[in-house]
Amino acid sequence: MTITATSDVLTERGEELRSQGQINEDLGKLSDTTVDILRQSGVMKLLAPVEYGGTRAHPVEFAETVMRIASLDGAAGWVSGVVGVHPWELEIMSPKLQEEIWGADQDTWVSSPYAPMGVATPVDGGYQVTGHWQFSTGTDHANWVILGAFVGGADGKPLQPFQSVHIVVPRADYTIVEDSWDVVGLKGTGSKDVTIKDKFVPGYRVINQADLFSGKVAREAGKTDPIHRIPFYSLFPLGLTSAVIGIAEGALHAHLEYQRNRQQGNGFKSTQDPYSMYAVSEAAGEIRASRAALLDNISRIYDTAARGREISLEERAVGRRTQIQAAWRATAAVDTILSRSGGNGLRMNNPIQRFWRDAHMGLAHAIHVPGPTYHAAVLTELGLEPPANLSSMV
C-alpha cells in the first residue's frame, strides 16, 4: 500500500475518527473503521523500514501524528503510539523475521508487551516459551507479538541473576484472553492478556534485552541511521507520552466546544466567568508547554545521534524526566479542565470524561512512573552513577 500523507487523511477523516471514540470504548477494542483510518494514514509505517513500505521518519513527525490521532480518540492514539514503535525495533532484528512479518503484507501490525511475564528456556535452535502477559495493546488487530521474558533454566524457572529477552511470536502460537480488558480508561485499546504454553521460538526471533538497550543489536545489524542510534528508553516512551498529550488536547477541544454556548445556573454564559476562563486558559498553556517540551527533547536527542555522538547517561536520564513530566503536566491540566466542565461534563455521553479517564489510564503506565527516573536524573546531574534500580528504565 502506498502511504497517504497522514495529515491529509486525518483532515479528511478526522471527524469520522472522532465519532469512533465511544464505539471503540463500547467494543473494548478499535473498530474496523478506526483501524482502516489508521492504516490509510500510514502512522504505523512512520518508523518502519523503507524496504517494507515504511518512511523511517523523524521521531517528531511520529510524535505529532500520534498526538493528532489521540486528540480525536484516545484509544486510537494510544494504539498508534505503542504499535507504531515496534517496527523501529524489528528493523534491527533478523532480516528473515522481517520478511516473515511483512513479506506478504506490509500492513501487518505487531503488538507487545515488553514486561518479562514469561520464561524462555534455551533449547537447541532457540527457546521454549511459556507465560501469561497482560496489556497487549491493539492485539486483536495484530498478527504478531513482541513479548518480554526471563531466560529460564532446566527447571523452567528464571535464572539468577535475571536475564531478559524480547521474543517475537506469530498469532498461531499465542492465545488472546478475551474479557481480560476491563478497565476505567483506554478501554478501546483492547489491551488484552495473551498466553503461550510451551511453544518453540527459533533463535532468530529473539534478542537479548541488555544488548538492545546498549545499542549493540543495532550496531551488529549495521544500522547507522540516527533513528537507530537513539536509545530504547529515549524512543519507546515517546509514543506513549505523545498519546497522553494528544488526549489532553482532545479534552481541551471537547471542553471548549461544550463551553462555547453553555449557560450557567446563574443565567450567565460560561464565557462570562473570568475565573473559569482563566483556569482553562492556564490549563491550555500547560498542555502546550508539555507538547513543546516533549518535541524539543526528542529533537535534541535525535540531533545528537545524527552528529554521531553517543547519548550520555545524563542526557538519557534528564530526557526521560522531561518526557515523564510532560505527561504529568498534561494530565493535571485535564483535571483542571474537567473541574471547570460542571456536572454535565461527567455524563457518559460527554467525551470530556472519556478523555479524562483515558489520560489517567495512560499516566498509570510504568513508563510514566516519576520516582526512580527523577532520582536517577538528579544523580547524573551531580556527576554520580545511579544504581541499577533507578536507572533500569533510563
Q: What is the CATH number of the domain that holds 359?
A: 1.20.140.10
Same domain, 97 and 170: no
Same domain, 354 and 331: yes
Confirm whether 78 is domain-assigned: yes
Same domain, 320 and 386: yes
Please identify, among 57, 84, 102, the residue that sits at the C-terminal boundary of a domain: 102
Sign of CA dihedral 350, 15, 291, 371: positive
Confirm whether 224 is domain-assigned: no
Same domain, 155 and 41: no
Same domain, 90 and 50: yes
Same domain, 117 and 56: no
Same domain, 144 and 287: no
Closest CA to 242 of 111, 138, 113, 330: 330
Please identify, among 38, 69, 102, the residue that sits at the C-terminal boundary of a domain: 102
Sign of CA dihedral 351, 352, 357, 363: positive
Interval 6-35: pLDDT, tens: 779 999 999 999 999 999 999 999 999 999
Same domain, 293 and 380: yes
Confirm whether 248 is domain-assigned: yes
**Can you give the pLDDT at residue 1?**
39
Interval 199-237: pLDDT, tens: 999 999 999 999 999 999 999 999 999 999 999 999 999
Confirm whether 193 is domain-assigned: yes
**Angstrom distances, CA of residue 194 to CA of 86, 146, 172, 181:** 17, 11, 12, 11
Please identify, among 177, 208, 239, the residue that sits at the C-terminal boundary of a domain: 208
**Can you give the pLDDT at residue 4?**
46
Same domain, 349 and 369: yes
Neighbours of 106 (CB within 10 A): 17
Per residue, the 3-state secondary structure of the chain, as one string, reads CCCCCHHHHHHHHHHHHHHCHHHHHHHCCCCHHHHHHHHHHCHHHCCCCHHHCCCCCCHHHHHHHHHHHHHHCHHHHHHHHHHCCHHHHHCCCCHHHHHHHHCCCCCCCEECCCCEEEEEEEECCEEEEEEEEEEECCHHHCCEEEEEEEEECCCCCECCCCCEEEEEEEHHHCEEECCCCCCCCCHHHCCEEEEEEEEEEEHHHEEEHHHHHHCHHHHHCCCCCHHHHCCHHHHHHHHHHHHHHHHHHHHHHHHHHHHCCCECCCCCEHHHCHHHHHHHHHHHHHHHHHHHHHHHHHHHHHHHHHCCCCCCHHHHHHHHHHHHHHHHHHHHHHHHHHHCCCHHHHCCCCHHHHHHHHHHHHHCCHHHCCHHHHHHHHHHHCCCCCCHHHHCCC
**Can you give the pLDDT at residue 5?**
55
Same domain, 250 and 294: yes
Q: What is the CATH number of the domain that holds 187?
A: 2.40.110.10
Interval 280-304: pLDDT, tens: 999 999 999 999 999 999 999 999 9
How many domains, in total, are found in the chain? Answer: 3
Same domain, 148 and 258: no
| Domain region containing 351 | 230-391
Closest CA to 335 of 253, 293, 279, 374: 279
pLDDT in tens, the chain (394 residues): 334 457 799 999 999 999 999 999 999 999 999 999 999 999 999 999 999 999 999 999 999 999 999 999 999 999 999 999 999 999 999 999 999 999 999 999 999 999 999 999 999 999 999 999 999 999 999 999 999 999 999 898 999 999 999 999 999 999 999 999 999 999 999 999 999 999 999 999 999 999 999 999 999 999 999 999 999 999 999 999 999 999 999 999 999 999 888 877 777 788 888 999 999 999 999 999 999 999 999 999 999 999 999 999 999 999 999 999 999 999 999 999 999 998 988 999 999 999 999 999 999 999 999 999 999 999 999 999 999 999 999 9
Q: What is the CATH number of the domain that holds 40?
A: 1.10.540.10
Burial class (CB in 10 A: 0-12, 13-18, 19+), 306: middle
Q: Say how many CA atoms lie within 13 Å of 340 toward its Cβ.
A: 28
**Can you give the pLDDT at residue 269?**
82
Q: What is the pTM of this model?
A: 0.96
Confirm whether 134 is domain-assigned: yes
Confirm whether 373 is domain-assigned: yes
Residue 4 neighbours by CB under 8 Å, 6+ apart: 40, 41, 42
Same domain, 124 and 77: no
Confirm whether 221 is domain-assigned: no
Burial class (CB in 10 A: 0-12, 13-18, 19+), 179: exposed
Confirm whether 213 is domain-assigned: no
